[in-house]
Structure 1
């Protein structure tokens, strides 16, 4: 990332990318959109999320300059994700200095996403986004801001719509980036969604707004960058105003999606009943709905019940819809993603969480740990095998190679019989590498074990009641192999009758 002074042109560049931009359009569109969409009200405090790039810096300056006319107070927040220490320091410095010069209060945070990923795992971009939004919401609370302004612009919208078209999206997906959405008591707004990048760059040049360029934006290794740098320019040969066309598509789709969502909520309120944690509906009433409302209603019901945030895909929704409409057999059931279940019972449609359907308790005694033991309630198999330790240490081959799905124990330190059972209230384990004990429930959460799997997920215990291992997550510090080990017990967990992957994933 390089610091960019307004008006500086790279050597060899025929003309700056913002040559055709209209800096005045930024001010005009902010005023028009703010009024038309009521993005802010007099007396509001608006927190501007500022990365240090040209888009957010232009937004910060424009809202600040218009704040007396709008009757709003402006604050800023900047998050350092920790991916590029040197560049991040420059960005943070640019933001802080500029805010100080304008007299705008600014809160910054070092999120250290790499350290978070090393400890908790997860998708890099998703975790960075989650931590950034958590910080922004907390910063908004401290600033007394009811709205957070984000700097997504019209070209971002065009890229998003094209990406969704290419991978196959529902009409709701073609609505692209929403103009506004609520996050708790705070509204996220995007005032630049009708303003294009060249206008923002021209605005920065006109008003001497400093900004930082992110070098990674020029790498086509990222799909969005490839769409922006390769796909859109190629397609613009067929439509010179492609970005504007894609943005119009998003606006039309958003309006129609809003209407259908409102109708779906009306159907949900009038036709879906909540009965002891279950959602039920008349099959005849469901069949009378238009197919578009059927699909949206199914998604709304699944999202209402689910404990996990990922949305249901088209294939799963369609399987439920067709199953709900079918007349045979009279009763039909299907287990769904996110721990949910759908049943059709004699003209009645029922959606439940599987964990709410009273999982059967189990206790599987393993007197001699050898062979495969199946925990049908959890869909998990545990394979036990013994390996005699020899002086050259050949039986310790895996003790140093153990992964999350495999654990090794000193046989002579175990108290038999072993026991496979689900978690009980108050269960604690002494994890390897941790001083003291930790709640099993907390380890389920840390390991991102889906909530739907937790009630029946197996724990391996010894005859004395000690929890030895949570398959796929953590093992205890008990019965570790050492130089005095004579016989090793190897335990490996896999999904029962399913793909060859670890339990718990």
Structure 2
């Protein structure tokens, strides 16, 4: 087994010399085998080991006996052991999630704590070849695509590794017996009360006996082949993502041209956009991906609500994916008095609630300023300002007298003409001098405060877009 695990680790570039590997150790056969094998090959790999155990407090005295077993095993091997007790049932109720999901959150949260505090850079998890086969069968029955057929990945995020994913459960059990490890047994794994247990205890044995005795190996081979194709398509879709998608804080804008690329790339591009906004794709199904694609074919202004508080909106053919806002945008207003600016000559403002920060600076007109150097830097006749400089978001009925025009135009119409997405309109700053709008940042300036040859003092206003 040791050679098989070493080859699998090297094939998937799981570990390099000098790594500190934290083993997720439940006390069951899989994790006990994993820790013992890694311990036996630690010198050949050039790694150091530790173990992490969470007592879920779900199995009465058995939970505490599992914890004790883990501590004794680590002590016998001379490796550090980190344990924590978490009331998973209470956590699940408090967060309104399943016990399984609560347990997962607790475990990965604990792993991250140890990584930060103790300097581990890899976490080894004891999924085996049978787990892989069960996962793929369950996904096929639910309905899945090529990504689902990949199953459990040997390496995730370059941190989480699964060194015994190539080892069958029977081999693991034999290894534990041969090495007198006497692992703990969770009796609930032997009962056909959960879907996965039914697949493990009933379906796979039935397929082995009646159709294919090597079904576990066949499904693992399928996962490996699917992974090769999936990685290639993922890389291609990532290239398309950077070509067609623009990221802002909490938002991704997918250019309408993206919807002409191959469907295999487009679905992944949309999924990546969702992940950027929400940090996860949990609760998202292919149906939701296709709902977004269908939305793009519809009218501008239409939107759909999606899981995880995500909203997708059609904005003139582009698709904007963002976090749903439940409250109507609050009125935002920053006021700087001209008297105050006269004294300081320069003012820096953090514009919370808007898309930008800003710098205001009073200068003498030397007739050498490029008035059109940037959409986010504009110049105004400072002497035409009476009392206050106001930076705010839009209000109903707002109008501006655009540069070069004799009449006024509604701000709303300017947003429509420039195809500004609905969800961004409340975040675009308006610069006002007293009661007059002088600048819709990034779009239009007013004719009322333009710089001319008679201007003596200039107010330079610079906006800095936050990443």
**Is the structural similarity TM-score above 0.5?**
yes
Which residue of 245, 250, 260 maps to 2:223? 250
CA distance, structure 1, for counterparts of residue 285 and residue 84 of structure 2? 36
CA distance, structure 2, for counterparts of residue 106 and residue 51 of structure 1? 12
CA distance, structure 1, for counterparts of residue 320 and residue 129 of structure 2? 42
CA distance, structure 2, for counterparts of residue 230 and residue 296 of structure 1? 35
Q: Which residue of 1 aligns with 2:182?
A: 210
Q: Is 1:117 aligned to 2:92, yes or no? A: yes
Preserved contact between residue 283 and residue 307 of structure 2 (Cα < 8 Å): no
Q: How does 1:365-404 map to 2 (within 5 A)?
A: none
Which residue of 71, 88, 108 maps to 1:133? 108
Change (3 A) 1:73 1:359: same
Change (3 A) 1:323 1:113: closer
CA distance, structure 2, for counterparts of residue 276 and residue 59 of structure 1? 41
Preserved contact between residue 48 and residue 74 of structure 1 (Cα < 8 Å): yes
Deviations 1:193-227 (A, max 9, x none): 11101111111122221211111011111111100
Q: How does 1:59-70 map to 2 (within 5 A)?
A: 59-70=34-45
Which residue of 325, 336, 345 maps to 1:355? 325
Preserved contact between residue 94 and residue 210 of structure 1 (Cα < 8 Å): no
Change (3 A) 1:53 1:170: same
Change (3 A) 1:280 1:199: same
Preserved contact between residue 49 and residue 79 of structure 2 (Cα < 8 Å): yes
CA distance, structure 1, for counterparts of residue 64 and residue 268 of structure 2? 45
Q: How does 1:145-294 map to 2 (within 5 A)?
A: 145-182=120-157, 187-236=159-208, 237-274=210-247, 278-283=251-256, 285-294=257-266
**Number of positions where the alignment pairs a residue of Structure 1 with one of Structure 2:** 331
CA distance, structure 2, for counterparts of residue 289 and residue 115 of structure 1? 47
User: Runs of 4 or more off by more than 6 Å in structure 1?
Assistant: none
Preserved contact between residue 258 and residue 266 of structure 2 (Cα < 8 Å): yes
Preserved contact between residue 47 and residue 143 of structure 1 (Cα < 8 Å): no
CA distance, structure 1, for counterparts of residue 56 and residue 139 of structure 2? 26
Q: Quote the offset at 1:308 in angstroms.
A: 6.6
Q: Larger RCO: Structure 1 or Structure 2 (Cα < 8 Å, ≥ 6 residues apart)? A: 1
CA distance, structure 1, for counterparts of residue 83 and residue 45 of structure 2? 25
Deviations 1:134-171 (A, max 9, x none): 11222233332110111100001000000101111121
| TM-score normalized by the length of structure 2 | 0.66
CA distance, structure 2, for counterparts of residue 233 and residue 44 of structure 1? 39
Q: Is 1:102 aligned to 2:77, yes or no? A: yes
| TM-score normalized by the length of structure 1 | 0.62
CA distance, structure 2, for counterparts of residue 152 and residue 294 of structure 1? 31
Q: Quote the offset at 1:31 in angstroms.
A: 1.1
Q: How does 1:296-311 map to 2 (within 5 A)?
A: 296-306=268-278, 310-311=282-283
Q: Is 1:342 aligned to 2:317, yes or no? A: no
Secondary structure, aligned partner of 1:274: strand
Q: Quote the offset at 1:66 in angstroms.
A: 0.9
Q: How does 1:402-441 map to 2 (within 5 A)?
A: none
* 5+ residue gaps, structure 1: 1-25, 363-451, 453-505
Preserved contact between residue 307 and residue 338 of structure 1 (Cα < 8 Å): no
Which has the higher mean CA deviation after the structures are superposed, 258-267 or 122-131?
A: 258-267
Secondary structure, aligned partner of 1:75: strand
Change (3 A) 1:119 1:312: closer
Deviations 1:220-264 (A, max 9, x none): 111111000111111222111111111111112222222222222
Q: How does 1:21-32 map to 2 (within 5 A)?
A: 26-32=1-7
Preserved contact between residue 149 and residue 190 of structure 1 (Cα < 8 Å): yes
Deviations 1:269-308 (A, max 9, x none): 111123675433332x223200111111111112222367
Q: Quote the offset at 1:114 in angstroms.
A: 2.6
CA distance, structure 2, for counterparts of residue 266 and residue 120 of structure 1? 37
Change (3 A) 1:168 1:102: same
Preserved contact between residue 155 and residue 197 of structure 1 (Cα < 8 Å): yes
Which residue of 57, 75, 82 maps to 2:50? 75
